[in-house]
Structure 1
Amino acid sequence: MADQTRDAPKTPWWKRFGAGFVTGAADDDPSGVATYSQVGAKFGYAMLWVILITTPLMIAIQMVSARIGRVCGAGLADALIANFPKPAVWTLIVLLVVANTINIGADLAAMGAAAKLLIGGPSLLYVLIFAAGSTALQVYLSFERYSPILKLIALSLFAYVATAFTVHVPWGTALRYFIIPHVQWNTEYLTGVVAVLGTTISPYLFCWQAAEEVAELRANNERKLQHDTGCKADAELRRIALDTTVGMLFSNIVAFFMIVTAAAVLHAHGKTDIQSASEAAEALRPIAGRFAFTLFSLGIVSTGLLAVPVVAGASAFAVAGAARKPYGLARKPRQAKLFYGVLVGSMALGTALTFSPIDPIKALYWSAVVNGVCAVPLMAAIMVVVRRKKTMGEHVVRGWLLFWGWLATAVMGVAAVVMFATLGKQ
């Protein structure tokens, strides 16, 4: 106890925010920027209430995922493969990797397009630079050095908050729509709700946060909490709760301001058909001015620099964990060959997609479909695992966290049904 008390003041407050904070920030990737801009441009402020609803759901499912990593000392795939039939788990993982790879390609394309808007030149060249730089950082930089970089990049998301204050926003109207749902019972609006849900609650986030809890545990030479019921265990669970809550609040606040900006600038001026993040940035320039355009475009690049490694890393963690092979950014490539092979392979395939004739908008659409297929069973499996004492020891999930976790699963289930019901109408 004396050692713990003496060490506590040495930990800077910002270091207490780790996996949860980075995961929340990574949720606002360029694909997310596109989705939030689209619904803001098309429906104005009428979609803001969805952000309010998704916040506690997102906190719950991410907190549950983080607990698995910290309590078991293993990632989600490890826990799932130990509790469910291998064919079922591998099916989910393959779907996850496919969706993630498409997402990487779409994010890189958006980053390249945003860089072209800002400084000119060929967007595909910027795609190669971003992809190579991101891959090199993950492969050659240690976790201890790489983690603070992710936290720093996460702060760049405040660019979207700043953008909202460079334009005229009727805040009374925006807050009213945020608090009171204004539902439109038509296919387009319901599809928009599903898109926001799918963007906000994504399978790659579950895998990443759980795996990062494992990485932080190993980096600090700490033991797993599976059979630990002391003060240290309670303190760790409180840290996870705080870290995750702050991270998801941060993510949803940024999403709120993205929708507000698109509603105030684009929807208010009749620009309702936005197909990509870069198109949203370009549309801002003649209406909101150069400064707002620059902030928004820089945000696309910085969010991509944060999100792309997270998406690729999530695939690598899932595959290596299910295969029971070594994994983690703290390991050298020769120590975790499968992990780094999947990571580099995902980045390479995602980059290749940007050079293919595949329409990135359609690719993102099908990525959303694949995510819809695997998100619900994955969430349900997670909620089953955290109730099993053989896996969680004395830290089985109970109470409000159990309720909100299952509610998040149910809401995503309804969203998946709506998505498939509207597939033929797209």
Structure 2
Amino acid sequence: MRGFLKKLGPGLITGASDDDPSGIATYSQAGAQFGLATLWTAIITFPLMAAIQGMCARIGLVTGEGLTVTLRKHYSKPVLYTMLLFSFPAITLNIGADIQGMGAVCHMIFPGIPTWIFCISITAILMYVIIQYPYRKISMILKWLCISLLLYIIVPFMLHLNWGQVARRTFIPTFRWNKDFLSIIVALLGTTISPYLFFWQTTMEAEDQEHRGIVVDKQLLNDMKTDVNTGMLFSNLVMFFIILTTGSVLFPAGIREINTVDEAAKALEPLAGKLTYLIFATGVLGTGLLAIPVLAGSQSYMLAETFGWSAGLDKKFSQAKPFYLSVIVSLVVGLCLEMVGISPMQALLYTAILYGITAPVMIVIILHIGNNRKIMKEHTNSLLSNILGVITFILMTAAAVAMIWFLF
């Protein structure tokens, strides 16, 4: 067990950060609106997430560089700048939605204190931690925060469920050809396979290798696979159990609309008890503290790698001022979304649109890099990775087309 835990690092953090407060809101809505009908999506998305994140991790290990640097070196500038153009607003909106969600949950637990005070306090704490602590300490903090996600796995076992029906809904896909069902499938795909995670995974693997000073070999790549697969499995387990909880409690009670994570927690309290409500709310805070540094960090790494700034969470503020200033700006802009009247659900909608546009393009580029011997040498993609990557591209493209169709 000790040997297994030592292998866990960037992959575990990436997977856990995928279950941020905005993701939890999406999973809760899926359960409330359709019961257990979307449970099968957790099974389907696992191998797809693992394949894409595995490619990104391998690129980081083999090149020793972030995805943005690889794009800058080997592809035309319009490709790189297009990715930045769509990624930055999406990441900023995602940060804003998560900060608002965490603030709303804190206000729900302590109603005497306004939401905006919690939002400002959370932002200030995150700024201090990111700037003050080096990479190794931050990664340890993030690893421990992953434990908060276990709270969601506990909740369904506190309820009386028909596990036979749960198994049928999990392994026998249900599909409905209507706008609402297709919309939630699109939202679940966009939430689980997010472009910012591609950049974060690649950069963190490169940094982690640099810190450890290990040569890329078969053992290192196998350890990376264990780390990534564990992280993605963990992420999908949490997705599964949140849909199971809300689908088993809120759907039978006739509660069909969940707009924010605090609404989900409030709705659970009278139906599943005070303890379930507190566990759900506490999990939101843990996942937000885990996800927001990943969001802000990935955006700052993208900027730094594009313009050649000194970057790294292991550097002091004086050594990488532009990098840390971009982290601060992204957090402040995300915080300001509440003040300009953009609701969390609006932010999530805009984020989903931007992710939906960029994800298929990024997947094609990652597939191309992963099969480019000039870049990857003898560590190119396996046949299975390519097959799963192409399936992911087809699904994400279909999701993007469906999203645009529904909206316009």
- Give TM-score scaled by structure 2 length: 0.97
> Quick check: 2:127–2:328 contact (8 Å CA) kept in 1?
yes
Which of 55, 58, 76 is the aligned partner of 1:67? 58
The aligned amino acid for 2:363 is M
Which of 74, 80, 93 is the aligned partner of 2:71? 80
Give me the whole-angstrom Cα distance separating, in 2, the residues matched to 1:32 and 1:169.
24
> Quick check: 2:135–2:314 contact (8 Å CA) kept in 1?
yes
Superposition pairs of residues 214-293 of structure 1, within 5 angstroms: 214-223=206-215, 225=216, 233-293=217-277
Residue matched to 2:97: 106
Which of 330, 337, 346 is the aligned partner of 1:353? 337
Superposition pairs of residues 282-321 of structure 1, within 5 angstroms: 282-321=266-305
> Quick check: 2:101–2:344 contact (8 Å CA) kept in 1?
no
Residue matched to 1:90: 81
Moved more, 50-59 or 330-339: 330-339
Residue matched to 1:229: none
Identity value in percent: 38
Residue matched to 1:344: 328
> Quick check: 1:64–1:405 contact (8 Å CA) kept in 2?
no
1:156 Cα shift?
Answer: 0.8
The aligned amino acid for 1:79 is T
Residue matched to 2:30: 39
Give me the whole-angstrom Cα distance separating, in 2, the residues matched to 1:132 and 1:376.
35
Residue matched to 2:165: 173
Which of 93, 107, 116 is the aligned partner of 2:107? 116
> Quick check: 1:169–1:260 contact (8 Å CA) kept in 2?
no
Moved more, 286-295 or 159-168: 159-168
Residue matched to 2:175: 183
Q: Does 1:197 align with 2:189?
A: yes
Give me the whole-angstrom Cα distance separating, in 2, the residues matched to 1:325 and 1:38.
41
Give me the whole-angstrom Cα distance separating, in 1, the residues matched to 2:271 and 2:247.
12
The aligned amino acid for 2:176 is Q
> Quick check: 2:20–2:287 contact (8 Å CA) kept in 1?
yes
Secondary structure in 2 matching 1:164: helix
Residue matched to 1:127: 119
Secondary structure in 2 matching 1:395: coil
Deviations 1:280-308 (A, max 9, x none): 00100111110000000001111000001
1:49 Cα shift?
Answer: 1.0
1:174 Cα shift?
Answer: 1.4
Give me the whole-angstrom Cα distance separating, in 1, the residues matched to 2:81 and 2:316.
25
Q: Does 1:52 align with 2:36?
A: no
1:338 Cα shift?
Answer: 2.7
Give me the whole-angstrom Cα distance separating, in 2, the residues matched to 1:68 and 1:344.
28
Q: Does 1:369 align with 2:361?
A: no
1:12 Cα shift?
Answer: 5.0
1:398 Cα shift?
Answer: 2.3
The aligned amino acid for 1:66 is A
Q: Does 1:30 align with 2:14?
A: no
Give me the whole-angstrom Cα distance separating, in 2, the residues matched to 1:331 and 1:213.
17
Residue matched to 1:392: 376
> Quick check: 1:60–1:404 contact (8 Å CA) kept in 2?
yes
Give me the whole-angstrom Cα distance separating, in 2, the residues matched to 1:410 and 1:334.
45
> Quick check: 2:95–2:292 contact (8 Å CA) kept in 1?
yes
1:386 Cα shift?
Answer: 1.1
Structure 2, gaps ≥5 residues long: none
Two-structure CA RMSD over aligned residues (Å): 1.3
> Quick check: 1:108–1:354 contact (8 Å CA) kept in 2?
no
Residue matched to 1:141: 133
Deviations 1:73-118 (A, max 9, x none): 0011111112211122112112111100000000000001111111
> Quick check: 2:67–2:203 contact (8 Å CA) kept in 1?
yes
Give me the whole-angstrom Cα distance separating, in 2, the residues matched to 1:360 and 1:150.
24
Give me the whole-angstrom Cα distance separating, in 2, the residues matched to 1:307 and 1:298.
14
> Quick check: 1:219–1:330 contact (8 Å CA) kept in 2?
no
1:334 Cα shift?
Answer: 2.4
Residue matched to 1:382: 366
The aligned amino acid for 1:320 is A
Question: Alignment length, in residue pairs?
Answer: 407
